[in-house]
């Protein structure tokens, strides 16, 4: 995700310095005009705006170590676009030096949307901070100012709950169709016109081929549902059931496929 996002910033004429935990991944960006830093601290030195895009809270904590945080200076803006949940954003805010502005802007979308600048961006920030970063976010997709600091991270948790629930609901619908001996292709046609239509249309090729090249990895979907259950102040039975299916699919998979592979786990469970 970070590579196509940084590429769009370069193409828009911005000076971009990049750092990745896997150094070789910065090569294509350097070829496109970016400067590669040898450390996170070097990457943020002198930057007006710093973007972080990492897989989970542990990775964010690792990168935003004491050295990097100490390098940030008053007036800089740190835009975290990771999906890490509101608790991690609150923790990060407490660790930042004074007068460094934190903006939480997690995104909906995967590599194709990032490449084409079609990400949906949920931004938590003050009005002033949002207006400051909005021109940069618009290069990456469509930003939505959803509230004050932390609201972006919270909104993404809610959105990803619906993504997980929709996918497992599709799995159970197809399992029910198997039980009722309905033709699978015809059923997918019908479900494409149902409230699950967007999910069917996005993942139909995976379901019909039985292959699940990762666009949104199963491990990331599982992480996101753990964030949901950790964040919720009340019991969410549907979220708990979705989490259970994702855990089962992860346990049964030898790789890290697209999260739509959970559909096969649900359909196979009916045969046991």
Per-residue model confidence as pLDDT tens digits over 153-168:
999 999 999 999 999 9
Residue 239 banded pLDDT, cuts 50, 70, 90: very high
Q: Do 2-148 and 155-269 show the same overall fold?
A: no
The fraction of the chain above a pLDDT of 70, given in percent, is 99
The residues assigned a catalytic role are 156
Q: Quick: pLDDT tens for 170-218.
A: 999 999 999 999 999 999 999 999 999 999 999 999 999 999 999 999 9
Sequence-ordered list of residues with C-beta below 8 angstroms from that of 187, at least 6 positions apart, any chain: 173, 174, 177
Strands (E), the chain: 17-18, 35-36, 49-52, 77-80, 101-104, 107-108, 119-124, 141-147
Instruction: Give me the residue spans of the domains in the chain.
Output: 2-148, 155-269
Structure tokens at 139: 């290069």
Sign of the CA dihedral with 105 first, then 108, 112, and 113 last:
negative
The fold of 2-148 is Rossmann fold (3.40.50)
Q: 18-22, 64-68, 192-196 — which one is most confidently predicted on average?
A: 192-196
Structure tokens at 92: 């990060």
Q: Where are the alpha helices (DSSP H) in 96-196?
A: 111-116, 127-140, 151-179, 184-191
Among 1.10.1040.10, 1.10.1060.10, 3.40.50.970, 1.20.1560.10, name the CATH number for the domain at 155-269.
Answer: 1.10.1040.10
Q: Quick: pLDDT tens for 88-136.
A: 999 999 999 989 999 999 999 988 999 999 999 999 999 999 999 999 9
């Amino acid at each position: 995700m970070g590579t196509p996002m940084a590429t769009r910033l370069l193409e828009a004429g911005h000076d971009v310095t990049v750092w990745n935990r896997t150094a070789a991944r910065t090569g294509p960006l350097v070829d496109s005009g970016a400067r590669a830093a040898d450390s996170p601290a070097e990457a943020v030195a002198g930057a007006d705006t710093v973007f972080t895009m990492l897989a989970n809270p542990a990775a964010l904590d690792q990168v935003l170590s004491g050295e990097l945080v100490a390098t940030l200076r008053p007036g800089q803006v740190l835009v975290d676009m990771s999906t890490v949940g509101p608790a991690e954003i609150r923790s990060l805010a407490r660790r930042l030096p004074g007068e460094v502005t934190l903006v939480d802007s997690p995104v909906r979308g995967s590599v194709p949307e990032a490449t084409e600048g079609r990400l949906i961006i949920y931004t938590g920030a003050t009005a002033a901070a949002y207006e400051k970063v909005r021109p940069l976010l618009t290069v990456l997709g469509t930003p939505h100012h959803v509230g004050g600091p932390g609201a972006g991270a919270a909104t993404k948790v809610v959105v990803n709950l619906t993504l997980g629930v929709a996918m497992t609901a599709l799995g159970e619908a197809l399992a029910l169709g198997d039980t009722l001996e309905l033709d699978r292709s015809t059923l997918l046609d019908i479900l494409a016109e149902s409230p699950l239509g967007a999910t069917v249309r996005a993942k139909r090729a995976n379901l019909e081929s039985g292959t699940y090249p990762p666009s949104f990895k199963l491990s990331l979907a599982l992480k996101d549902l753990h964030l949901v259950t950790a964040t919720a102040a009340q019991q969410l039975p549907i979220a708990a059931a979705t989490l259970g299916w994702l855990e089962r699919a992860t346990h049964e998979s030898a790789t890290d496929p697209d999260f739509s592979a959970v559909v096969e786990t649900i359909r196979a469970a009916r045969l046991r």
